[in-house]
Amino acid sequence: VKKDGGNHFGFYSAESSVVWTRDQLELERELRAAIKNDELQVLFQPIVNAQSHHIARIEALVRWLHPKRGYLSPSEFLPLAEDIGQIEQLGEIVLKTSCAAAYNLLQLGYPVNVSVNVNPRQLLNKNFPQTIVQVLHDTGLPAKSLILEITESAIVNDMERVSKVLEEIKRLDILIALDDFGTGYSSLTLLRELPIDILKIDKSFVRTLDQNRNDLKIVQAIIGLGKNLGLTVIAEGVETERQVKLLLQHACYFHQGYYFSRPIPYEALYNLMQHKLLR
């Protein structure tokens, strides 16, 4: 959280109830306006086939360019969007923008699958599949080019509802990725109960892969688990060549992280796609 001249916002008390400061109320008003006026930006981070160095897919990551505070990261405004009941609207904007971007690239001769993060609130809404159908129709993107990334232990409490919505989404030919795998937010229960296609190893394990024997063993086990279940395994937060090598040694071929590229705007992504190879 940025601090400018004593301004601060969005801190939580020990009981995790929001402490409402004047700044917080102002930020809330500004976020509503930003969502309404389409002031959110979507960046794209390549997910690379680390053997061929081709871009295999892209992940959409939302940013808010605040007039005074500058770029805010999702952790700085997504909780607020949830609090003010705007997370579904925000999600729909990101979905539209992401599908439109992937469709543009497809039209330009660079077909690429786009992965979009979804909040549990979206998955709990039985109209979500219909929203997706509408967005695909409006943007022209084929359903098979879309991947949804899910997390959150909150889902576990309402597994039946979420699983119904996801089954419907799967019937549309859309793939589902389980994000942040190995953290408390993505449990084995989700893997067992939900129709998952892709496993994303959380970056906390990848970060210390080359320093910590246990993390290497955990990553090895996750890769094995994913493969045994017939899933595609992606490593998140890959920053060093050594990490790339270790992951390849253990047969994890899809890598996402600063080593290959940070999240970048559409135009920069288009430039990258034209060069075909990363690094």
Which residues would be at the binding site for Mg ion (CB under 5 A)? 117, 149, 151, 179-180, 236
Q: Among ligand C2E, Mg ion, none, what binds residue 62 when CB lies within 5 to 8 Å by partner kind?
A: ligand C2E
Q: Which stretch binds ligand C2E (CB under 6 A): 100-108, 116-124, 190-198, 213-221?
A: 116-124
Could you give phi then psi for residue 119, rounded to 5 degrees? -85, 145
CA distance 174 to 167: 10
Among residues 27 and 244, whose Cβ is nearest to ligand C2E?
244
> Among 214, 210, 218, 276, which Cα is nearest to 241's?
210
Q: Which stretch binds ligand C2E (CB under 6 A): 7-15, 68-76, 161-169, 187-195?
A: 68-76
Taking the C-alpha atoms of 167, 173, 179 and 185 in order, what is their torsion angle to the nearest 10 degrees? -10
CA distance 43 to 265: 5
Could you give phi then psi for residue 70, rounded to 5 degrees? 80, -160
Among 203, 219, 226, 273, contact with ligand C2E (rule: CB under 6 A): 203
Among 184, 258, 271, 277, contact with ligand C2E (rule: CB under 6 A): 258
Among residues 28 and 46, whose Cβ is nearest to ligand C2E?
46
Among 27, 47, 61, 136, contact with ligand C2E (rule: CB under 6 A): 61
CA distance 257 to 47: 8
Q: Determine the length of the chain.
A: 279
Interface of this chain with ligand C2E, residues 82 to 101, rule: CB under 6 A: 91, 94
CA distance 81 to 142: 29
DSSP state of 143: G
- With b meaning 16 or more CB within 10 Å and e meaning fewer, what string describes 134-143? ebbeebebeb
Instruction: Fill in the per-residue mask, 117 to 156: x = in contact with ligand C2E (CB under 6 A), - = not in contact.
Output: xxx-----------------------------x-------
Among 239, 240, 268, 270, contact with ligand C2E (rule: CB under 6 A): 239
Q: How crowded is residue 75: how many other Cβ atoms within 10 Å of its Cβ?
A: 9
Q: Among ligand C2E, Mg ion, none, what binds residue 119 when CB lies within 5 to 8 Å by partner kind?
A: ligand C2E
Instruction: Fill in the per-residue mask, 36 to 55: x = in contact with ligand C2E (CB under 6 A), - = not in contact.
Output: ---------x----------
Give me the helix-helix angle, 74-83 and 22-36, nearest 10°: 90
Among 28, 30, 88, 179, contact with ligand C2E (rule: CB under 6 A): 179
Q: Which two tokens stand for residue 126?
A: 């039985």
Binding site for ligand C2E (CB under 6 A): 45, 61-62, 73-75, 78, 91, 94, 117-119, 149, 179-180, 203, 236-239, 256-258, 263
